[in-house]
Amino acid sequence: MQRHLILTLLAIWLLLAACVQQPQDNNPIPTAPVVQGTPTSIATPAVQTQPDSPTPTAVLTNTTRSLIIWLPPEIAARTPAGSDTFLNQLSAVTADFPDLEIRVEQKAISGQGGMLSYLRTGRSVVPDILPDLIVLPTNQLSAALTDNLIYPMDGLLNAALLEDLYPAARNMAQIDEQILGYPFALTDLGHLAYTTSAFTTTVPITWPDLLGLSAQSFLFPGAGRPGTTLALQMYLDAGGQLVNDVGQPSLQAEPLTQVLEQFNQGRSSGFIIAQSNSLATIAEAWQLYNSGTATLVQTTADQLLLSQTGEQSTTSGFAPLPGLTDHLTPLVNGWAWAISTPDPAQQALAIEVMTGLLNDTRLTEWSLQSGILPARQSAFALWPQDDPYTLFLGQEMAVARPFPATANTTIMGVLGNALLDVLTQSKTPQAAAEEAAATIMNN
Protein backbone atom coordinates (compact mmCIF):
# COMPACT_ATOMS: atom_id res chain seq x y z
CA MET A 1 0.00 0.00 0.00
CA GLN A 2 1.23 3.39 -0.89
CA ARG A 3 1.89 5.89 1.87
CA HIS A 4 2.68 9.57 1.63
CA LEU A 5 5.23 11.56 3.52
CA ILE A 6 4.15 15.19 3.61
CA LEU A 7 6.77 17.64 4.76
CA THR A 8 6.05 21.34 5.23
CA LEU A 9 9.32 22.97 6.30
CA LEU A 10 10.87 26.45 6.61
CA ALA A 11 11.94 27.95 3.29
CA ILE A 12 15.62 27.54 2.58
CA TRP A 13 15.66 24.85 5.30
CA LEU A 14 19.32 24.04 4.84
CA LEU A 15 20.61 27.57 4.27
CA LEU A 16 18.81 29.00 7.29
CA ALA A 17 19.91 26.14 9.52
CA ALA A 18 23.45 27.46 9.73
CA CYS A 19 22.41 30.79 11.19
CA VAL A 20 19.11 30.41 13.08
CA GLN A 21 19.60 30.85 16.83
CA GLN A 22 16.41 32.58 18.04
CA PRO A 23 13.01 32.74 16.29
CA GLN A 24 11.76 36.12 15.11
CA ASP A 25 8.28 35.92 16.55
CA ASN A 26 6.85 38.89 14.70
CA ASN A 27 7.81 37.74 11.20
CA PRO A 28 5.74 35.53 8.89
CA ILE A 29 7.07 32.00 8.63
CA PRO A 30 7.88 31.02 5.06
CA THR A 31 7.29 27.41 4.11
CA ALA A 32 8.09 25.08 1.27
CA PRO A 33 5.50 23.37 -0.90
CA VAL A 34 4.26 19.88 -0.13
CA VAL A 35 6.54 17.05 -1.17
CA GLN A 36 5.03 13.64 -1.88
CA GLY A 37 6.97 10.49 -2.47
CA THR A 38 8.28 7.29 -0.98
CA PRO A 39 9.74 7.36 2.52
CA THR A 40 13.16 6.37 1.27
CA SER A 41 13.61 9.41 -0.94
CA ILE A 42 13.08 12.85 0.56
CA ALA A 43 13.57 15.75 -1.82
CA THR A 44 14.78 19.16 -0.67
CA PRO A 45 11.77 21.47 -1.06
CA ALA A 46 11.90 24.40 -3.43
CA VAL A 47 11.43 27.88 -2.00
CA GLN A 48 7.90 29.22 -1.69
CA THR A 49 6.64 31.75 0.83
CA GLN A 50 3.39 31.41 2.74
CA PRO A 51 1.34 34.28 4.22
CA ASP A 52 1.18 34.56 7.98
CA SER A 53 -2.26 33.03 8.40
CA PRO A 54 -3.80 30.80 11.06
CA THR A 55 -4.09 27.85 8.68
CA PRO A 56 -1.45 26.12 6.55
CA THR A 57 -2.09 26.16 2.81
CA ALA A 58 -1.41 22.45 2.36
CA VAL A 59 -4.35 20.12 3.08
CA LEU A 60 -4.02 16.50 4.10
CA THR A 61 -5.57 14.08 1.65
CA ASN A 62 -8.06 11.49 2.79
CA THR A 63 -6.09 8.47 3.97
CA THR A 64 -6.31 5.92 6.75
CA ARG A 65 -4.16 7.87 9.20
CA SER A 66 -2.20 11.09 9.46
CA LEU A 67 0.24 12.57 11.94
CA ILE A 68 1.15 16.27 12.21
CA ILE A 69 4.41 17.28 13.91
CA TRP A 70 5.39 20.85 14.80
CA LEU A 71 9.02 21.73 15.48
CA PRO A 72 10.70 25.00 16.52
CA PRO A 73 13.53 26.24 14.27
CA GLU A 74 16.04 25.80 17.11
CA ILE A 75 15.53 22.04 16.67
CA ALA A 76 14.41 21.65 13.05
CA ALA A 77 17.03 23.94 11.54
CA ARG A 78 19.92 24.07 13.98
CA THR A 79 22.37 22.60 11.45
CA PRO A 80 21.98 21.36 7.85
CA ALA A 81 23.30 17.91 8.80
CA GLY A 82 20.92 17.68 11.74
CA SER A 83 17.96 18.64 9.54
CA ASP A 84 18.82 15.95 7.00
CA THR A 85 19.34 13.38 9.73
CA PHE A 86 15.98 14.08 11.36
CA LEU A 87 14.09 13.76 8.07
CA ASN A 88 15.86 10.53 7.20
CA GLN A 89 15.18 9.12 10.65
CA LEU A 90 11.52 10.09 10.51
CA SER A 91 11.25 8.39 7.15
CA ALA A 92 12.83 5.23 8.56
CA VAL A 93 10.64 5.22 11.68
CA THR A 94 7.41 5.54 9.68
CA ALA A 95 8.38 3.26 6.79
CA ASP A 96 6.36 0.35 8.19
CA PHE A 97 3.18 2.40 8.69
CA PRO A 98 0.89 1.76 5.69
CA ASP A 99 -1.20 4.65 4.43
CA LEU A 100 0.24 7.06 6.99
CA GLU A 101 0.64 10.69 6.03
CA ILE A 102 3.09 12.79 8.02
CA ARG A 103 3.36 16.56 7.95
CA VAL A 104 6.29 18.30 9.62
CA GLU A 105 5.87 22.04 10.09
CA GLN A 106 8.36 24.48 11.51
CA LYS A 107 6.93 27.11 13.86
CA ALA A 108 8.31 29.53 16.39
CA ILE A 109 7.33 28.69 19.96
CA SER A 110 5.66 32.00 20.80
CA GLY A 111 4.61 35.28 19.26
CA GLN A 112 2.18 36.06 16.46
CA GLY A 113 1.78 32.98 14.31
CA GLY A 114 3.70 30.88 16.85
CA MET A 115 3.04 27.37 18.03
CA LEU A 116 1.52 28.23 21.40
CA SER A 117 -0.74 30.90 19.89
CA TYR A 118 -2.13 28.43 17.35
CA LEU A 119 -2.68 25.79 20.00
CA ARG A 120 -4.60 28.20 22.22
CA THR A 121 -6.96 29.43 19.51
CA GLY A 122 -7.05 26.63 16.96
CA ARG A 123 -9.02 23.85 18.63
CA SER A 124 -12.32 25.64 18.36
CA VAL A 125 -11.61 27.01 14.89
CA VAL A 126 -9.42 24.66 12.81
CA PRO A 127 -8.82 21.50 14.88
CA ASP A 128 -8.01 19.36 11.83
CA ILE A 129 -4.76 21.19 11.09
CA LEU A 130 -3.43 21.18 14.66
CA PRO A 131 -0.47 18.96 15.56
CA ASP A 132 -0.43 15.61 17.31
CA LEU A 133 3.20 15.80 18.42
CA ILE A 134 5.22 18.94 19.22
CA VAL A 135 8.55 20.01 20.67
CA LEU A 136 8.50 22.55 23.52
CA PRO A 137 11.06 24.07 25.87
CA THR A 138 10.97 22.02 29.06
CA ASN A 139 10.28 25.12 31.14
CA GLN A 140 6.97 25.58 29.28
CA LEU A 141 5.61 22.07 29.80
CA SER A 142 3.81 22.80 33.06
CA ALA A 143 2.07 25.95 31.77
CA ALA A 144 1.13 24.20 28.52
CA LEU A 145 -0.44 21.35 30.47
CA THR A 146 -2.35 23.79 32.70
CA ASP A 147 -3.69 25.53 29.56
CA ASN A 148 -4.71 22.15 28.07
CA LEU A 149 -2.30 22.64 25.16
CA ILE A 150 -0.59 19.30 25.82
CA TYR A 151 -1.64 16.03 27.46
CA PRO A 152 0.18 13.85 30.00
CA MET A 153 2.12 10.80 28.84
CA ASP A 154 1.14 8.72 31.88
CA GLY A 155 0.44 5.16 30.82
CA LEU A 156 1.75 5.80 27.31
CA LEU A 157 5.50 6.06 27.81
CA ASN A 158 7.81 3.10 28.41
CA ALA A 159 9.19 3.45 31.94
CA ALA A 160 12.68 2.45 30.75
CA LEU A 161 12.83 5.61 28.62
CA LEU A 162 12.16 7.75 31.67
CA GLU A 163 14.74 5.91 33.78
CA ASP A 164 17.40 6.45 31.10
CA LEU A 165 17.17 10.24 31.34
CA TYR A 166 19.83 12.26 33.11
CA PRO A 167 18.53 13.30 36.57
CA ALA A 168 17.93 16.91 35.53
CA ALA A 169 15.90 15.82 32.49
CA ARG A 170 13.89 13.36 34.59
CA ASN A 171 12.98 16.19 36.94
CA MET A 172 11.89 18.31 33.97
CA ALA A 173 9.64 15.52 32.70
CA GLN A 174 7.65 14.96 35.88
CA ILE A 175 5.65 17.06 38.29
CA ASP A 176 3.88 15.26 41.14
CA GLU A 177 4.51 11.93 39.39
CA GLN A 178 2.75 13.17 36.25
CA ILE A 179 4.72 12.86 33.02
CA LEU A 180 4.32 16.15 31.15
CA GLY A 181 6.57 15.37 28.19
CA TYR A 182 9.78 13.62 27.25
CA PRO A 183 12.98 15.71 27.31
CA PHE A 184 15.33 14.57 24.56
CA ALA A 185 17.91 17.40 24.55
CA LEU A 186 19.63 19.41 27.28
CA THR A 187 20.57 23.04 26.65
CA ASP A 188 22.36 25.99 28.26
CA LEU A 189 24.91 23.88 30.13
CA GLY A 190 27.36 26.62 31.04
CA HIS A 191 31.11 26.37 31.44
CA LEU A 192 34.33 28.26 30.76
CA ALA A 193 36.27 28.12 27.52
CA TYR A 194 39.84 29.33 27.45
CA THR A 195 42.82 29.88 25.19
CA THR A 196 45.00 26.86 25.87
CA SER A 197 48.24 28.68 25.04
CA ALA A 198 47.56 31.16 27.84
CA PHE A 199 47.55 28.53 30.58
CA THR A 200 50.41 26.32 31.68
CA THR A 201 48.39 24.80 34.55
CA THR A 202 44.75 23.91 35.12
CA VAL A 203 42.19 26.70 35.25
CA PRO A 204 41.20 27.60 38.84
CA ILE A 205 37.71 26.58 39.93
CA THR A 206 37.05 29.49 42.32
CA TRP A 207 36.64 33.21 41.72
CA PRO A 208 39.24 34.25 44.31
CA ASP A 209 41.86 32.09 42.57
CA LEU A 210 40.85 33.33 39.13
CA LEU A 211 41.08 36.94 40.25
CA GLY A 212 44.66 36.27 41.29
CA LEU A 213 45.68 35.51 37.70
CA SER A 214 46.98 38.91 36.66
CA ALA A 215 47.93 37.77 33.15
CA GLN A 216 44.43 36.50 32.27
CA SER A 217 41.21 38.23 31.21
CA PHE A 218 37.56 37.18 31.31
CA LEU A 219 34.68 37.99 28.99
CA PHE A 220 31.00 37.24 29.57
CA PRO A 221 27.57 38.56 28.51
CA GLY A 222 27.02 40.71 31.59
CA ALA A 223 24.16 42.67 30.01
CA GLY A 224 22.10 39.60 29.13
CA ARG A 225 20.42 36.56 30.61
CA PRO A 226 23.52 34.31 30.47
CA GLY A 227 25.45 36.74 32.67
CA THR A 228 22.50 36.98 35.04
CA THR A 229 22.35 33.18 35.12
CA LEU A 230 26.02 33.08 36.15
CA ALA A 231 25.24 35.50 39.00
CA LEU A 232 22.22 33.36 39.94
CA GLN A 233 24.35 30.20 40.10
CA MET A 234 26.87 31.96 42.32
CA TYR A 235 24.07 33.32 44.52
CA LEU A 236 22.62 29.83 44.99
CA ASP A 237 26.13 28.48 45.59
CA ALA A 238 26.57 31.09 48.34
CA GLY A 239 23.45 29.81 50.10
CA GLY A 240 21.01 32.37 48.72
CA GLN A 241 17.32 31.50 48.55
CA LEU A 242 14.75 32.48 45.92
CA VAL A 243 11.70 32.21 48.18
CA ASN A 244 11.25 33.26 51.80
CA ASP A 245 9.73 31.30 54.67
CA VAL A 246 6.19 31.91 53.47
CA GLY A 247 6.91 30.98 49.86
CA GLN A 248 7.16 34.47 48.41
CA PRO A 249 9.90 35.48 45.91
CA SER A 250 13.00 36.69 47.69
CA LEU A 251 16.60 37.79 47.23
CA GLN A 252 18.85 37.93 50.27
CA ALA A 253 21.24 40.85 50.49
CA GLU A 254 24.13 39.13 52.30
CA PRO A 255 24.87 36.26 49.87
CA LEU A 256 24.13 38.53 46.91
CA THR A 257 26.67 41.06 48.20
CA GLN A 258 29.28 38.29 48.36
CA VAL A 259 28.61 37.41 44.75
CA LEU A 260 28.57 40.95 43.44
CA GLU A 261 31.83 41.67 45.25
CA GLN A 262 33.56 39.07 43.05
CA PHE A 263 32.35 40.85 39.92
CA ASN A 264 33.33 44.19 41.40
CA GLN A 265 36.88 43.02 42.10
CA GLY A 266 37.13 41.49 38.65
CA ARG A 267 35.97 44.68 37.00
CA SER A 268 38.20 46.94 39.13
CA SER A 269 41.32 44.86 38.46
CA GLY A 270 40.66 44.64 34.73
CA PHE A 271 40.24 40.84 34.86
CA ILE A 272 36.68 41.26 33.57
CA ILE A 273 36.88 42.90 30.14
CA ALA A 274 34.94 46.18 29.91
CA GLN A 275 32.99 45.00 26.85
CA SER A 276 31.19 42.52 29.13
CA ASN A 277 28.97 45.43 30.19
CA SER A 278 27.37 45.59 26.73
CA LEU A 279 27.27 41.94 25.67
CA ALA A 280 23.86 40.24 25.86
CA THR A 281 24.34 36.77 24.38
CA ILE A 282 26.70 33.83 24.51
CA ALA A 283 27.19 34.15 20.74
CA GLU A 284 28.34 37.77 21.06
CA ALA A 285 30.81 36.89 23.80
CA TRP A 286 32.09 33.92 21.81
CA GLN A 287 32.72 36.03 18.72
CA LEU A 288 34.66 38.61 20.72
CA TYR A 289 36.62 35.89 22.51
CA ASN A 290 37.59 34.35 19.17
CA SER A 291 39.03 37.71 18.14
CA GLY A 292 41.59 37.37 20.93
CA THR A 293 40.06 39.97 23.24
CA ALA A 294 40.15 37.69 26.31
CA THR A 295 41.74 34.43 27.42
CA LEU A 296 38.62 33.16 29.22
CA VAL A 297 34.95 33.32 28.26
CA GLN A 298 31.64 32.20 29.69
CA THR A 299 30.06 29.88 27.15
CA THR A 300 27.72 26.90 26.86
CA ALA A 301 27.93 23.42 25.43
CA ASP A 302 25.41 24.56 22.79
CA GLN A 303 27.84 27.21 21.54
CA LEU A 304 30.99 25.12 21.67
CA LEU A 305 29.38 22.09 20.04
CA LEU A 306 27.87 24.27 17.32
CA SER A 307 31.27 25.83 16.64
CA GLN A 308 32.69 22.34 16.17
CA THR A 309 30.05 21.36 13.58
CA GLY A 310 30.85 24.23 11.19
CA GLU A 311 33.54 24.58 8.58
CA GLN A 312 35.46 27.06 10.74
CA SER A 313 35.64 24.95 13.87
CA THR A 314 37.60 26.33 16.79
CA THR A 315 39.62 24.61 19.48
CA SER A 316 39.54 25.85 23.05
CA GLY A 317 40.10 24.43 26.48
CA PHE A 318 37.14 23.98 28.80
CA ALA A 319 36.55 24.05 32.54
CA PRO A 320 33.63 24.32 34.97
CA LEU A 321 32.27 27.72 35.90
CA PRO A 322 33.97 28.98 39.06
CA GLY A 323 32.15 29.51 42.35
CA LEU A 324 33.08 31.12 45.63
CA THR A 325 34.63 27.99 47.16
CA ASP A 326 34.28 25.35 44.42
CA HIS A 327 33.09 25.02 40.85
CA LEU A 328 29.41 25.67 40.21
CA THR A 329 26.70 23.09 39.70
CA PRO A 330 25.40 23.49 36.12
CA LEU A 331 21.85 24.69 35.55
CA VAL A 332 20.24 23.37 32.38
CA ASN A 333 17.12 23.78 30.28
CA GLY A 334 15.96 21.44 27.55
CA TRP A 335 13.66 20.51 24.71
CA ALA A 336 10.91 17.93 25.10
CA TRP A 337 8.50 16.02 22.95
CA ALA A 338 4.89 16.57 24.02
CA ILE A 339 1.53 15.12 23.02
CA SER A 340 -0.81 17.83 21.73
CA THR A 341 -3.82 15.79 20.62
CA PRO A 342 -6.69 14.68 22.89
CA ASP A 343 -7.47 11.71 20.63
CA PRO A 344 -6.31 8.44 22.31
CA ALA A 345 -5.57 6.73 18.99
CA GLN A 346 -3.50 9.68 17.78
CA GLN A 347 -1.73 9.83 21.14
CA ALA A 348 -0.71 6.19 20.80
CA LEU A 349 0.50 6.79 17.23
CA ALA A 350 2.45 9.88 18.30
CA ILE A 351 4.14 7.97 21.12
CA GLU A 352 5.11 5.18 18.72
CA VAL A 353 6.73 7.62 16.26
CA MET A 354 8.38 9.59 19.07
CA THR A 355 9.77 6.42 20.62
CA GLY A 356 11.26 5.41 17.29
CA LEU A 357 13.04 8.75 17.00
CA LEU A 358 14.28 8.37 20.59
CA ASN A 359 16.09 5.13 19.82
CA ASP A 360 19.51 5.63 21.41
CA THR A 361 21.36 5.14 18.11
CA ARG A 362 19.12 7.61 16.28
CA LEU A 363 19.25 10.16 19.08
CA THR A 364 23.03 9.82 19.17
CA GLU A 365 23.34 10.46 15.44
CA TRP A 366 20.96 13.41 15.44
CA SER A 367 22.51 15.04 18.51
CA LEU A 368 26.04 14.73 17.14
CA GLN A 369 24.99 16.14 13.77
CA SER A 370 23.04 18.97 15.46
CA GLY A 371 25.65 19.86 18.07
CA ILE A 372 23.27 19.47 21.00
CA LEU A 373 23.39 17.32 24.14
CA PRO A 374 21.06 14.30 24.26
CA ALA A 375 19.06 13.89 27.46
CA ARG A 376 19.26 10.08 27.36
CA GLN A 377 22.29 8.63 29.11
CA SER A 378 22.44 5.65 26.73
CA ALA A 379 22.55 8.00 23.73
CA PHE A 380 25.34 10.14 25.17
CA ALA A 381 27.27 6.95 25.99
CA LEU A 382 27.56 6.43 22.22
CA TRP A 383 29.29 9.77 21.70
CA PRO A 384 33.07 9.48 21.08
CA GLN A 385 34.38 8.49 24.51
CA ASP A 386 37.99 9.21 23.57
CA ASP A 387 37.15 12.93 23.34
CA PRO A 388 38.05 14.79 26.59
CA TYR A 389 35.20 17.25 25.99
CA THR A 390 32.70 14.38 25.85
CA LEU A 391 33.98 13.09 29.19
CA PHE A 392 33.74 16.57 30.70
CA LEU A 393 30.17 17.07 29.48
CA GLY A 394 29.14 13.66 30.81
CA GLN A 395 30.39 14.59 34.27
CA GLU A 396 28.59 17.93 34.15
CA MET A 397 25.27 16.46 32.95
CA ALA A 398 25.38 13.84 35.70
CA VAL A 399 25.26 16.54 38.40
CA ALA A 400 23.32 19.26 36.56
CA ARG A 401 20.06 20.63 37.93
CA PRO A 402 17.08 22.08 36.06
CA PHE A 403 16.97 25.85 35.89
CA PRO A 404 14.86 26.72 38.96
CA ALA A 405 11.26 27.67 38.26
CA THR A 406 11.43 30.05 41.22
CA ALA A 407 13.94 32.18 39.29
CA ASN A 408 11.08 33.98 37.60
CA THR A 409 11.22 36.90 35.19
CA THR A 410 11.04 39.47 37.98
CA ILE A 411 13.89 37.95 39.98
CA MET A 412 16.08 37.56 36.91
CA GLY A 413 15.39 41.15 35.89
CA VAL A 414 16.24 42.56 39.31
CA LEU A 415 19.32 40.35 39.61
CA GLY A 416 20.47 41.42 36.15
CA ASN A 417 20.09 45.09 37.02
CA ALA A 418 22.15 44.62 40.20
CA LEU A 419 24.90 42.86 38.25
CA LEU A 420 25.01 45.59 35.60
CA ASP A 421 25.10 48.29 38.26
CA VAL A 422 28.24 46.68 39.68
CA LEU A 423 29.85 46.03 36.31
CA THR A 424 29.37 49.66 35.32
CA GLN A 425 30.54 50.63 38.79
CA SER A 426 27.51 52.85 39.33
CA LYS A 427 26.74 51.13 42.65
CA THR A 428 28.75 49.29 45.28
CA PRO A 429 28.05 45.55 45.65
CA GLN A 430 26.33 46.11 48.98
CA ALA A 431 24.14 48.95 47.71
CA ALA A 432 23.16 46.98 44.60
CA ALA A 433 22.37 43.86 46.65
CA GLU A 434 20.29 45.72 49.23
CA GLU A 435 18.35 47.52 46.51
CA ALA A 436 17.69 44.23 44.70
CA ALA A 437 16.48 42.54 47.90
CA ALA A 438 14.20 45.48 48.73
CA THR A 439 12.78 45.57 45.18
CA ILE A 440 11.74 41.92 45.33
CA MET A 441 10.32 42.31 48.84
CA ASN A 442 8.21 45.30 47.80
CA ASN A 443 7.17 43.93 44.41
Residue 22 sits in the same domain as residue 112: yes
Same structural domain, 421 and 433? yes
pLDDT of 400 above 60: yes
Q: Which domain covers residue 115, as residue numbers? A: 5-187+333-393
Query: Number of structural domains, the chain?
Result: 2
Residue 18 lies in a domain: yes
CA–CA separation, 39 and 13 (whole Å): 19
Question: Could you tell me if 341 and 389 lie in one domain?
Answer: yes
DSSP class of 275: G
With respect to residue 320, please indicate whether it lies within any of the assigned structural domains: yes
Strands (E), 72-208: 100-106, 133-137, 174-175, 178-179, 182-187, 190-194
Domain stops at, among 352, 367, 393 = 393
Phi, psi (deg, nearest 5) at residue 285: -65, -40
Residue 357 sits at the vertex; the CA angle it makes with 356 and 363, to the nearest 5 degrees, is 125
Domain annotation covers residue 402: no
Average pLDDT, the chain: 86
- Domain-embedded: residue 194: yes
Same domain, 80 and 22: yes
Contact 142, 176 (CB under 8 A): no
Which amino acid is present at 277?
A: N
Q: Which pLDDT tens digit goes with each residue over 76-134?
A: 999 999 999 999 999 999 998 888 999 999 999 988 778 988 898 877 677 778 999 99
For residue 354, pLDDT beyond 90: yes
286 lies in the same domain as 344: no
Mean pLDDT of 368-372: 96
pTM reported for the whole predicted model: 0.85
Please indicate, yes or no, whether residues 56 and 131 belong to a single structural domain of this protein: yes
pLDDT at position 48: 29
- CA distances to 3, 32, 103, 104, 221 from 35, rounded to whole Å, are 12, 9, 10, 11, 42
Shortest CA distance to 180 belongs to which of 162, 205, 197? 162
Indicate the pLDDT class of residue 314, thresholds 50, 70 and 90.
Answer: low
pLDDT attached to residue 102: 92
In this prediction, residue 420 carries a pLDDT of 98
Same domain, 138 and 263: no
| Cα(393)–Cα(397) distance, integer angstroms | 6
The answer to whether residue 8 scores a pLDDT higher than 90 is no
CA dist 210 and 146 (Å) reads 45
Q: Are residues 419 and 308 in the same domain?
A: yes
Does residue 241 form part of some domain?
yes
Residue 344 sits in the same domain as residue 282: no
Q: 147 and 195 share a domain? A: no
Distance of CA 117 to the CA centre of its chain: 20
CATH code for the domain of 276: 3.40.190.10
Q: What is the pLDDT of residue 192?
A: 97
* 179 assigned to some structural domain: yes
Note the pLDDT of residue 75: 94
Does one domain contain both 384 and 414? no
**Is 398 domain-assigned?**
no
Residues 62 and 34 in one domain: yes
State the burial class of residue 101 (Cβ atoms within 10 Å of its Cβ: 0-12, 13-18, 19+). Answer: buried
Residue 178: predicted pLDDT: 93
In this predicted structure, the answer to whether residue 32 has a pLDDT above a threshold of 80 is no
Tell me how far CA of residue 194 lies from CA of 101, 201, 204, 312, 321, in angstroms: 48, 12, 12, 17, 11
Q: Domain for residue 403, yes or no?
A: no
